[in-house]
Amino acid sequence: MRVTRRKILQTAAGTAALSAIGGPTFAQPGAGEIVIGSLHDLSGGLDVVGKPMEEALQLAVEEINATGGLLGRKVRVVTLDTQTNVQLCAQYAQQLALKDKASVVFGGITSASREVIRPVMRRFNTLYFYNTQYEGGVCDRNIFCTGQTPAQNVDKLVPYVTRRWGKKIYVIAADYNYGHITADWIKKYAKTSGAEVVAADFFPLDVNQFGPTIQKIQAAKPDLVISVLVGGAHMAFYRQWAAAGMSSRIPLASTTFSVGSEHIVLSPAESDGIVTAFNYFESIDTPVNQAFVSRWHKRYGSGYPYICEMAVATYQGVNLWAQGIRKAGSLDRMKTIEALEDGVSFDGPSGKVSIDPATHHCTLDIQIAECKDRKWQIRETFKQQKPVETAAVCDLRKNPGENKQFVVKV
């Protein structure tokens, strides 16, 4: 092709036009706005968990902006939908850190996604809040975990169910890091309660036929079954369990039931009697929670099915971060971390939530509740439980450069 003056002029004009089209897609932050990132699964299999977390984040930010924002500036949320696809987590985490220059990122639901996002956030010096209950052990100064850990929920659930129903436990769990590590924790806390885990079966996330499992459970004759099943396909277990008439024969406890609003989707016959231990239940009877629930219903409709624990953990996480910013008086990451390590707590819908400086996890209340008619009846409350299992292996004050997840050895 001959290079003519006409060709050069055309190419230059075309390039100018293209870059003008590309221009407006780069978000220009308003003058002095604080940008925070939201990285949740809003579509795909985990949308039933991700959407409430996103809604909780928006509610918290709206309340902050209504009182004048932070440091005199408004807070703006950049939301990216990771579509239940772990690859997108890495990509979008990088985008939030580099392109949007977020001051903090809230997000990641499964432990798999957290372990993808965490190193990215650390590499690009962006603060990260992980607001989902998980298997414990993460020791990283750049992350704050507001979800409950096994020392908080499993350690309370296992003695309760052992006392109530008996000492032989059958565990069924999802076949990935959370399921395996939680099953190990159940074994550990069973030993300390004098109980015994007779068997632990693991199921990949897409298995939805549990016929042989139900018969094997009957053959093992346990006193109770603890379910660590996750996701939509595993919900079929509760259907098949009730269809086989097992609900009245062997009691069920779970560390994950209701996270995906299972008690709303299933019928009362399939969900009654299941016992869980969580930080938050919508039926918690305190003025703070009642006010929160009515604010939530005003914002999202009174017909909202159920406000789940992860949504409240996200709400509490945002408020804890806001407190850290106010205390630090600046958006600087290190100053914020030091402020958050200096005794920050928040009176949330689930009770008082305080950040533990040594582990960057939270001290919080735990309730044990039983499902009846699609509602949770709280049976026991344990106030201000510390994240002891992580505290046993992780001290960020002594080793601030620590960056790993410790795994329990049973």
Partner 1 sequence: MDYVAVIAVEVLNAIATLVLVSIGLAVIFGMMRVINLAHGEFIMLGGYAATMAVKWGIDIWLSMLVVAPLAVGLAGAVLERLVIRHLYGRMLDAMLATWGLSLLLVGLTTAFFGTTTQGVQSPLGATSIGSYSVSLYAAFVITMAAVVCLLLYVLLRHTHFGLRARSVMQNASMAAALGMHPKRTYAVTFALGAALAGLAGGILAPITGVVPTIGVAYVAKAFITVIGGGTSILAGTVAASTVFGTVNQLVSFVATPVIGEVALLAVAMVLIRLLPQGITGRFFRGRI
By the criterion CB under 8 A, which residues form the site for partner 1? 43-45, 47-48, 175, 201-204, 206-213, 215-216, 218-219, 232-233, 235-236, 239-240, 242-246, 249, 260-261, 265-267, 269-270
Between residues 113 and 405, which has the closer beta carbon with respect to partner 1? Answer: 113
Between residues 43 and 399, which has the closer beta carbon with respect to partner 1? Answer: 43
6 burial class (0-12, 13-18, 19+ CB within 10 angstroms)?
exposed
Between residues 215 and 381, which has the closer beta carbon with respect to partner 1? Answer: 215
Closest approach, Cβ 134 to partner 1, in A, equals 22
Q: Which of 106, 88, 97, 100 is nearest to 126 (CA)?
A: 97
Rounded to a whole number of angstroms, the CA Rg of the chain reads 23
Q: How far apart are CA 54 and CA 108, in angstroms?
A: 11
Closest approach, Cβ 212 to partner 1, in A, equals 4
Between residues 32 and 211, which has the closer beta carbon with respect to partner 1? Answer: 211
Between residues 264 and 334, which has the closer beta carbon with respect to partner 1? Answer: 264
For 321-345, give the DSSP string.
Answer: HHHHHHHHTS--HHHHHHHHTTT-E
Specify whether the backbone of 84 is left (phi greater than 0), alpha (psi in -120 to 50) or beta: left
Between residues 175 and 338, which has the closer beta carbon with respect to partner 1? Answer: 175
Closest approach, Cβ 300 to partner 1, in A, equals 16
Closest approach, Cβ 199 to partner 1, in A, equals 10
Q: Where are the alpha helices (DSSP H) in 208-358?
A: 211-220, 235-243, 262-265, 268-271, 287-300, 309-328, 333-340
Closest approach, Cβ 48 to partner 1, in A, equals 5
Q: Which of 273, 250, 270 is nearest to 262 (CA)?
A: 270
Between residues 69 and 232, which has the closer beta carbon with respect to partner 1? Answer: 232
**Any idea which residue has 């008690």 for tokens?**
263
Closest approach, Cβ 236 to partner 1, in A, equals 5
Between residues 165 and 189, which has the closer beta carbon with respect to partner 1? Answer: 165
209 burial class (0-12, 13-18, 19+ CB within 10 angstroms)?
exposed
Closest approach, Cβ 88 to partner 1, in A, equals 15
Q: Answer whether 208's CB lies under 8 Å from 231's CB.
A: no
Closest approach, Cβ 176 to partner 1, in A, equals 13
Q: Which of 254, 202, 258, 262 is nearest to 226 (CA)?
A: 254
Closest approach, Cβ 229 to partner 1, in A, equals 12
Between residues 245 and 287, which has the closer beta carbon with respect to partner 1? Answer: 245
Closest approach, Cβ 213 to partner 1, in A, equals 7
Q: φ and ψ at 266, to 5 degrees?
A: -80, 165
247 vs 110, 138, 344, CA distance in Å? 29, 36, 43
Between residues 141 and 216, which has the closer beta carbon with respect to partner 1? Answer: 216
> What type of residue is 230?
V
Token readout for 220 is 């093992």
How many beta carbons lie within 10 A of that of residue 367, not counting itself? 23
H or E element that contains 202: strand 196-203
Between residues 249 and 326, which has the closer beta carbon with respect to partner 1? Answer: 249
Largest CA distance in the chain: 89
